[in-house]
Structure 1
Amino acid sequence: MKEVPNAVDVLVVGYGPVGAAVAALLGGYGINTLVIDKAPDILMAPRAIALDNEALRILQMVGLGENAFPKVAIPYVRMLCPIVGEFGRVNSGGTIDGHPKLVTFYQPDLERALRKKVADRGSVQVCTSAEMLSAQEDERGFDVVIRFPSGAESTVRTRYLVGADGAGSVVRKLIGQDFEGKTYAEDWLIVDAKNVPGNFDHIEFICDPKRPTPHMVAPGGRIRWEFMLRPGETREQMESDETITRLLQPWARAGELKIERKAVYRFHARSCKRYSRGNAFLVGDAAHITPPFVGQGLVAGLRDAANLSWKLAWVLKGRMSPVALETYDQERRPHATQMIALAKLMGRLVMPSNKLMAILIHGTMALLRRIPPLRNHFDELGIKPKNEFSDGLFVKGQSRIRRGRVLPQGFVRSSSGQGLLSDDALGNGLTLVGFGQSPLPHLKATTLRKWESVGGLISQINHRGGSDDEADNVFEDLESRLLSSGQLYGWCAVVRPDRTVLHDGPISEADRLVRESIELLNPPGLRT
């Protein structure tokens, strides 16, 4: 039995990719964290396979560089109907915020990279083959009983409890937030194979009412197929070698492929009524389950991790009122619910119930794409809900920068000549960013001291070639990504550690903006 600490600040239950991301982020802030998981090691079964630019940006925040794990950038996604032909095509080539719009990956590779990052965090301990048996809550936290395979038990005191323990979450049941409403359940056979003939390089949805079949390229020379089960088909039938050989016949002959994994999974669409209660929080599949048709299941969990982790850290460090933790549910649940709705809509496109419905739905989509504005709206993912908040931890009001939305990212150059992404330049704290000018001369000494006491940093972004300042916190916008329109020159913004804009305004009013931001955080040590 591995020895566990008697007390920690945060106990994370579940060491999948979302739990590992939470642990790595908390460890980066120096928070005393324990992660437990029932499994002894990484699960090798086929699961998540797609990440978008937002997820890659969060992984950058975690500390995973561009080459931390293998990925394949997807140039486009096709939607094909055997009756009407191609009725949809998503342009997933290019980049947004310094990352590819869409990549596929092999989940064990990502988990290994995340666990390596967690191992580098001195304030994080990990205990696998350990199950949360129960948790007794009081106003200050939880006493969590952990059981080991030997039957031995240990009790750990924790201030905060994070459930990253998947669809069957024990933490979710503990806080009485089980999934509500009707599920959207479909059984699919997932097949991962190598040595596939040809040069397939994208994602394709074959939307055949007889058997819908998405398939996609993946790292390591892999292809994944997903075959929808028909009524009456069983797991045993579908996972048999004979069935898989028959299903893969359009792509390869028997013996050509190396089948790595085959398993029947049930896809759901579920969300909790709340993602938190008191000092307990749910992230990833413990809070919401998204069908895979828009590749947002794991992405949503990583958004949870980014939103929650810094808030826990700031509260534990006395930089923010615990009341601010209520904004986790307020900010994350609406967007996750919108993504589930989009996945269900895409599912209806992928899975027409019969030939007539396929002609009606796919034919209509093909006709709509003949209208240029609508084609651009669909092809450029205009239907994807933006990750922005209507309520939450930001100062409300109209301004030049959309508060409650993530600040764009671009490549910048430091005063020493180093090129880097702007998130890395700004650091992992609350940051006051001056555009074209430094906000420092506009801050009173007392305000600056308070800002630094809440983990506040100061940076300056200039247009390319627009500065000879040698300060470490001054950067040039090499791509005009942050200063593209020129409207932000002489402006400043307060940016949260998860890169959400908390406040903004004229740089001459930087002192007021910082004071109002601190008032919103309401740190215990600065209350008057």
Structure 2
Amino acid sequence: MNNNKKVSELPPTVVDVLVVGNGPVGATIAALLGRYGVKTLVLDKTHEVALMPRAIALDNEALRILQLAGLSEDAFEKIAIPEVRMHSPVLGQFGRANTAGCIDGHPKLVTFYQPDLEHAMRSQVSRLKSVTSLGGFELKNLVEEADCVIATVRDQNDHTHSVRAQYVVGADGASSRVRALIDQEFEGQTYAEDWLIVDAKNRHKSAIDHIEFICDPRRPTPHMPAPGGRERWEFMLQPGESREELESPESIARLIAPWINPQELEIERKAVYRFHARCCNKFSRGRIFLAGDAAHITPPFVGQGLVAGLRDGANLAWKLAWVVRGHAAPSVLDTYDVERRPHAQAMINLAKLMGRLVMPRNKIAAFFIHGLMRTLALTPATRRYFEQLDIKPKNIFKHGLFLQHRRGDKLVRGSLFPQAWVRNMQKQVKLSDDALGDNLTLVGFGVDPLSLLTTAQVVSWEKMGGHFLEIRTRGQRSDGSCDFIEDLNHDILPLAAKGTLVVVRPDRIIMHHAPGAEAGSIVRDCMGLLASADAPADSDSITINEPPRLRA
């Protein structure tokens, strides 16, 4: 085991899962697999964390996934963003998004410095005995056999090595070698734009405290603060402008002059990036899976690029672990594509739509679009649609590894189980995900799940990686024998009747829920899902189309 540093160490020849790519998505998948006890190898072409400007925003769901992977709240520095403003040079501020407050125990929106996150995740991975992380290895070929995948990798001395893995995950970025080897190149329509990204340093006292979009059709410019006294600007290149021209110190000083005196400007880094909107037609083939930018690339207008990759990791890692450990049939892995691809595509569609709304290319379009958005903000319903982020697609699956939702239930099967502050039996106050742990958990609302099951049913549940937990209101105690927590602020218990049992997957998705009287059926239903999770017939091929038009 190491932290991607030992040049001379050879990769193990046999592992459960090979992860190709040690960026934030690959490292998070490795951390999750390690927490589940899966023998994992992570390989990357480079040894060190790249310092170029890349992702900068995370939402509450992403922070919850990082929590799930073992990162503490202070593992890396973040700035909570209270709002996102949209400015027109003609109309002034014409729109905003309210990002203040928390959801599920985490801020709605933060900015961060990606190298800090990657160092923190690599440090977390280095503590996991079942994970080996090595740099200096490049994937050359993959051969899938009946019971494994044989990966051929080359080290920096041009020596080749073979690794036998039950499963392979390609988290190797937009130019993914894994994606090319399984013939899942990006399909469908796309667009490409070049943007100059500039990070300035020593802005501790001068940086803004929010995110703003300067929606000038002559030069659209997102602008935001970042931890460590940083501030970022993104300038869209105009037709005919070259990268070299815009990256010159004189050009950067001119572009940032409205905010910083050129004599005070200290550039930490600069780079020109091309923003794409693309998605694979399938996120897997056989025993090989794609995650993060290897599977989909999201424009940055809604800050969901890295977030989508982290969602991939949370969804896939526990399913791989359950299959490898014999808790579930290999067919459950088919639900990764069924669950994740539609939502990833929906986020890409939203990013493209927001790009068109806030960054029109000509003055006439800008005047009408921004004027319309300003007018829509005058009515409560349409204002909420934008301001309270109702426009953001909900992370609720239509099909997948769960019992179908029943209309009218507050707890939606196929959606995230809420997180809240709780107190455990040792009087420790913590977030409820930490109490759920790394298991498939049968949660009792005001009832001990063990009291409703036979001994045989309890044994069967535990054999498929199951755990038990009881939630009661603050100040109550349990007479049961399973783990117990108090819902301190009464955030979870009102969502279902007393006596309800809820099955929460390790990725915090609700698999099933029913009254306690149906405890035996719940166990049988979930065992059936894990034994043969057949994907719906209509989910084998999902056509990726242009985003739907905005509906008020």
Band of TM-score, shorter chain: over 0.9
Kept after mapping to 2: 8 A contact 1:13/1:36: yes
Classify the secondary structure of the residue corresponding to 1:484: helix
- Which amino acid in structure 1 is aligned with residue 136 of structure 2? S
Name the Cα RMSD after superposition.
1.3
Kept after mapping to 2: 8 A contact 1:464/1:476: yes
- Which amino acid in structure 2 is aligned with residue 492 of structure 1? L
Q: TM-score, normalised by structure 1?
A: 0.97
State the partner residue of 1:94.
101
Kept after mapping to 2: 8 A contact 1:433/1:458: yes
The unaligned stretches of length 5 or more in structure 1 are none
Aligned: 1:506 with 2:515 = yes
Distance 1:471 1:511 in 2: 18
- 1:1-48 per-position Cα deviation (integer Å, ceiling 9, x unaligned): 421111111100000000000000001111111110011211100000
Distance 2:359 2:236 in 1: 9
State the partner residue of 1:124.
131
* 1:98-497 superposed matches below 5 A: 98-196=105-203, 198-398=206-406, 400=409, 401-467=411-477, 469=479, 473-484=483-494, 487-497=496-506
Q: CA deviation at 1:344?
A: 0.2
Distance 1:294 1:469 in 2: 47
Classify the secondary structure of the residue corresponding to 2:18: strand
- Which amino acid in structure 2 is aligned with residue 217 of structure 1? P
Distance 1:272 1:162 in 2: 15
- 1:75-97 per-position Cα deviation (integer Å, ceiling 9, x unaligned): 10001111111111111010000
State the partner residue of 1:59.
66
Aligned: 1:522 with 2:531 = yes
- Which amino acid in structure 1 is aligned with residue 114 of structure 2? Q
Kept after mapping to 2: 8 A contact 1:415/1:471: no
State the partner residue of 2:537.
none
- 1:50-96 per-position Cα deviation (integer Å, ceiling 9, x unaligned): 00000000000000011010000001000111111111111101000
Distance 1:151 1:501 in 2: 47
Distance 2:218 2:404 in 1: 50
Distance 2:357 2:197 in 1: 19
Structure 1 window deviating more from structure 2 (383-392 vs 458-467): it is 458-467
Distance 2:412 2:377 in 1: 30
Distance 1:371 1:430 in 2: 44
Distance 1:500 1:472 in 2: 21
- Which amino acid in structure 2 is aligned with residue 349 of structure 1? L
Classify the secondary structure of the residue corresponding to 2:368: helix
Q: Are residues 238 and 261 of structure 1, via their aligned partners in 2, closer, same or farther at CA, if it must alter by over 3 Å?
A: same
Kept after mapping to 1: 8 A contact 2:329/2:531: yes
Q: TM-score, normalised by structure 2?
A: 0.93
Classify the secondary structure of the residue corresponding to 1:255: helix
Distance 1:352 1:133 in 2: 43
Kept after mapping to 1: 8 A contact 2:97/2:389: yes
Distance 2:401 2:302 in 1: 28
Q: Which residue, 62, 78, 89 being the options, matches 1:82?
A: 89
- Which amino acid in structure 1 is aligned with residue 423 of structure 2? R
Q: CA deviation at 1:244?
A: 0.3
Distance 1:291 1:510 in 2: 45
- Which amino acid in structure 2 is aligned with residue 75 of structure 1? P
- Which amino acid in structure 2 is aligned with residue 430 of structure 1? L
Q: CA deviation at 1:155?
A: 0.7
Q: CA deviation at 1:415?
A: 2.0
Kept after mapping to 2: 8 A contact 1:50/1:103: yes
Distance 1:488 1:106 in 2: 43
- % identical equivalent positions: 57
Q: Which residue, 5, 27, 49 being the options, matches 2:34?
A: 27
Distance 1:469 1:101 in 2: 37
- Which amino acid in structure 2 is aligned with residue 109 of structure 1? D
Structure 1 window deviating more from structure 2 (458-467 vs 442-451): it is 458-467
Q: CA deviation at 1:509?
A: 1.3
Distance 2:113 2:413 in 1: 35
Distance 2:70 2:293 in 1: 23
Distance 1:325 1:259 in 2: 45
Kept after mapping to 1: 8 A contact 2:149/2:165: yes
